[in-house]
Amino acid sequence: MSETLNFKHKTFKPLKHYLLRCIVYSILIALSVIFMLPFLWMVLTSIKGSDAIIAGGFFPKKVEFENFKLVWKVLPLGTFFKNTCIITAFCIFGQALSASLVAFGFARIKFKGNRILFLLLISTMMVPGQVTMIPTFALFNTIGWINTFLPLIVPAFFGGGAFFIFLLRQFFMTIPKELDEAAIIDGCTTFGIYRRILLPLSKPALTTVVVFSFIFNWNDFLYPLVFLQTQDKYTIAVGLQFFKDVYASRWNLLMAASVIAILPVLTVFFSAQKYFVEGIVTTGLKE
C-alpha cells in the first residue's frame, strides 16, 4: 500500500511541475506577442499604400514594396546613415577603450581612495543627462563645436560612461589575479597585463559594451538634436523626426524609413547575442 502511494506521489510531482512550466511559458508567449504588436504594426504599415492607410485595418490588402524605394527619394537617408555610422563607430571605439582602461584601474590597481572614487563614479548614474545639458552646450558653443560631430564623439573617449565602467570592472574582478602575478614574473608591464590578459579574456563583457553602445548611439535623438543644426549633419533619429514634421500624413513612408533604420540594430543584436548574453551572465559581483 505504501509503495502504491509513493508511486502516485512520484507521478504527481512531475505532472505538477510540467503544468507549472506550461503556465509560465504560456504567459511568456502571450507577453511576447503583446510586445511584438507595435513592431508588427510598423512593418505592416510600411508595405501599405496611401489608400490602405486611410481605409484602416491591421493587415494590408495589397503589398507595396515601392515604399522602401520611394523613401530614399523623398528623404536623404544616405546622408543620415553616413552621419550616424561615423558617430556610432567613433563612440563605440572610444567608450570601449576608455571604459576598459578605467575599469582596469579600479579592478587591478590598488591605490588610496579606490572604493570612494568608484562609489562617486557610480553615483553619477543617478544624475540625468538633461541636468548637465545646458552647461555642456554652453561649453561646446564657446569652443565652436556646435553643428559638428565633436560634441557627440569626444566625450566617449573620457571614461565611456559609469555603467560601462561598472560592467567591465565587475567582470575584471572575476578574473583570477594569479594570472597577473604570473605575467609580472614573466616581465609583463601593467599595461601589458591589460592588453595581453584581461582584454582577451573579457570578450563577452566587451561585446556587451559594444552592443549597448551601438544601440544607444544609433538611436540617440536628444543629443544630436541639441548639437546638430543643419540637415546635412542630421543622424537617422533626427532625420526621421524631420521627415515626420514635413510629411506628417505619409505614415507608410515614415514606417518604411523606420524599418530601414532599425534593421542595423536588429542585425547587430542578433549577431552578437551569444556573447551579449554570456557577458551579462558571467559579470559577477565579486569584491
Per CATH, the architecture of 66-282 is what? Orthogonal Bundle (1.10)
Kindly provide the b/e burial profile for residues 89-108, where b requires at least 16 CB atoms within 10 angstroms of the residue's own CB: ebbbebbbebbbebbbbbbb
Amino acid symbol at 249: S
| Per-residue pLDDT tens digits for 193-250 | 898 889 888 888 898 899 999 999 999 999 999 999 898 899 999 988 887 776 666 7
Which residue is listed with cell 590597481? 109
* Best CA proximity match to 86, nearest among 218, 188, 203: 218
Average pLDDT over residues 82-99: 95
Residue 195 in grid coordinates:
592588453
* Best CA proximity match to 220, nearest among 146, 129, 147, 281: 129
Calculate ∠ Cα 156-171-152, nearest 5°.
Answer: 10
Q: Which ranges of 194-250 does DSSP label H, i.e. alpha helix? A: 199-201, 203-219, 222-227, 236-246
Higher pLDDT, 251 or 8: 251
**C-alpha span between 143 and 236 (Å, rounded):** 26
Higher pLDDT, 145 or 51: 145
pLDDT of residue 204: 85
pTM of the model: 0.82
Q: What percent of the chain stands above pLDDT 70?
A: 87
Banded pLDDT at 83 (limits 50, 70, 90): very high
**C-alpha span between 82 and 268 (Å, rounded):** 17
- 8 Å CB contact between 271 and 199: no
**C-alpha span between 177 and 107 (Å, rounded):** 10
| Per-residue pLDDT tens digits for 273-284 | 776 666 555 554
pLDDT of residue 282: 54
Residue 285: alpha-carbon gap to chain centroid: 22
Average pLDDT over residues 103-116: 89
